[in-house]
Amino acid sequence: MTKPLRIGVAGLGVVGTSLARLLHRQANALAMRAEGPVVLAAYSARSPRPERPEIAAARFWGDAVELAAKADVDVFVELIGGAGGVALAAVKAALGRGLPVVTANKAMLAAHGLELAALSEAHGAPLFYEAAVGGGIPVIKTLRESLAGNAIRRVSGILNGTCNYILSKMETERLPFDVCLAEAQRHGYAEADPTFDVGGFDTAHKLAILASLAFGSKIDAEAVSVEGIESITLDDLVAADELGYRIKLLGVAERTAHGVEQRVHPTMVGKGAPLAQTMGVLNAVSIDGDAVGELTLVGPGAGGDATASAVAADLVDVARGVRLPVFGRPAALLSDADRVPMQRHEGGYYVRLTVVDRPGAMGAIAARFGDRMISLEAIMQKRATKEWAEAGVVPVVLMTHGTTEASIRDALARTLEEGVVREKPQVIRIERDGV
């Protein structure tokens, strides 16, 4: 109960300062769980922060890589961020000297996870990253430990709070995308350049991590098909609502007949599903295992304190000597990730079309869908507004039964060619059950 765990933290941003405060506040409880004191011994940042009492006793390093390589610590915590650069160099330096590493850096894991896993094994230095996916939600531990006896069939999740905030606000307040994005920026939920979030790339990084853990494959960000939420309109959200769905940006990794699909896209989710009920900045992950069935974890996916909670749990595991292969099995036993083309995806589709208002137009569309053996579950044509009527078009929503992405894309290309449809059709995939 006496040997302290000396921590070196690189990066004192929102998460780093929350972590320092947590270690201070929970010192007694952590000491009990870690079987010894957990002490902030060193940190790196742009400048020293002697004014903070919870940091005062720690040694300042101006350079994160130097801290990782030389500081007299027992574990290195990387909270700098970024796929490469200083973060990657520092983590490699720490692992290279056999130092356990805790990180919240999903971009780095998505880009260099396999290399880091090999380095971790070569030097017997564990790498923990609970905070990298789902913030405070213990999804990494659940996949890596709690579901060890399961063959995973699907992992699907709302992994980006910014997108979920925007979509929730658009739906509940009937506001357009731009207004909700600006609101998210005002609250600090979205960056000035929101592309990384709303384009689906952050979700893709997190999904790549979950897919590797769930399916025992090499982490492969290139295997993820990515679509963002920028094209989602209020019309889509209203139509989804009327049809009994919500639109969520999901990351889905799923075993199919063609291999494991990894995809990020706006998704129609039935309102009864737990993921549909996850609103605002919350994150949620549903995991379908052959023994456990469907398990859903919901909680705060970001924020300093929630993320620090996940880092602290990893630190206690480090203190207790927990050793686990980075992606659940030795790196040499990870399979190559499947790269299933999105064209082969099978499922139902929501399609919103701007149809030319003339006799036979709907018949032509129906014929093109029929040619590809796509059967329709629902057709919804609303009375056109004045603007629509003046433009000579009507908005039409189609819901299809199960088909392939290739068939849908082909049918839609033909309707555009034939001139019965104007503008790019909106296409949103439907997840039927269990998400």
- The 3-state DSSP class for residue 369 equals helix
- Contact with a second copy (CB under 8 A) among 100, 126, 136, 251: 136
| Residue 70 one-letter amino acid | K
Q: Does 74 bind a second copy (CB under 8 A)?
A: no
How far is Cα of residue 226 from the mean position of the Cα atoms in its chain?
11
C-alpha dihedral (46, 48, 53, 59), degrees to nearest 10 = 110
CB of 235 to a second copy, least distance (A): 26
Q: With CA atoms as reference, report the closest residue to 132 among 337, 322, 307, 314.
A: 307
CB of 155 to a second copy, least distance (A): 14
- Contact with a second copy (CB under 8 A) among 2, 47, 148, 186: 148
Q: Does 145 bind a second copy (CB under 8 A)?
A: yes
Q: Does 137 bind a second copy (CB under 8 A)?
A: yes
Q: Does 258 bind a second copy (CB under 8 A)?
A: no
Within positions 301 to 330, which residues make up the interface with a second copy, using CB under 8 A? 303, 305-306, 308-313, 315-317, 320, 322-324, 328-330
CA distances from 27 to 12, 132, 305 (A): 19, 23, 15
Per annotation, catalytic residue among 206, 248, 271, 382: 206
- Contact with a second copy (CB under 8 A) among 37, 89, 118, 146: 146
The structure tokens 């090999």 sit at 118
Alpha-carbon gap, residue 322 to 143, rounded angstroms:
16
Q: Does 114 bind a second copy (CB under 8 A)?
A: no
Alpha-carbon gap, residue 327 to 323, rounded angstroms:
12
CA distances from 103 to 8, 90, 188, 310 (A): 12, 11, 22, 10
CB of 353 to a second copy, least distance (A): 34
| Residue 325 one-letter amino acid | P
Q: With CA atoms as reference, report the closest residue to 347 among 412, 273, 275, 254.
A: 254
Q: Does 266 bind a second copy (CB under 8 A)?
A: no
Stretch that binds a second copy, among 27-35, 218-226, 385-393, 421-429 (CB under 8 A): 27-35
Alpha-carbon gap, residue 183 to 282, rounded angstroms:
16
The structure tokens 């295992």 sit at 289
Q: Does 241 bind a second copy (CB under 8 A)?
A: no
- Print the binding letters for residues 30-69 with a second copy: x by CB under 8 A, - otherwise: x-xxx-----------------------------------
Q: Does 155 bind a second copy (CB under 8 A)?
A: no
Residues in contact with a second copy, counted by CB under 8 A, come to a total of 58
- Print the binding letters for residues 270-289 with a second copy: x by CB under 8 A, - otherwise: ----x--x-----------x
- The 3-state DSSP class for residue 117 equals helix
Q: Does 209 bind a second copy (CB under 8 A)?
A: no
Residue 260 · residue 211 · CB < 8 Å: yes
User: Would residue 271 show up in a list of annotated catalytic residues for this protein?
Assistant: no
Nearer to a second copy by Cβ, of 3 and 323: the residue is: 323
Nearer to a second copy by Cβ, of 29 and 373: the residue is: 29
The count of other CB atoms within 10 Å of the CB of residue 404 is 17
Q: Does 122 bind a second copy (CB under 8 A)?
A: no
* CB-count burial class (<10 Å; 0-12, 13-18, 19+) for 308: buried
Contacting residues toward a second copy, per CB under 8 A = 18, 22-23, 25-26, 29-30, 32-34, 130, 136-138, 141-142, 145-151, 216, 274, 277, 289-300, 303, 305-306, 308-313, 315-317, 320, 322-324, 328-330, 333
Cite the active site residues: 206
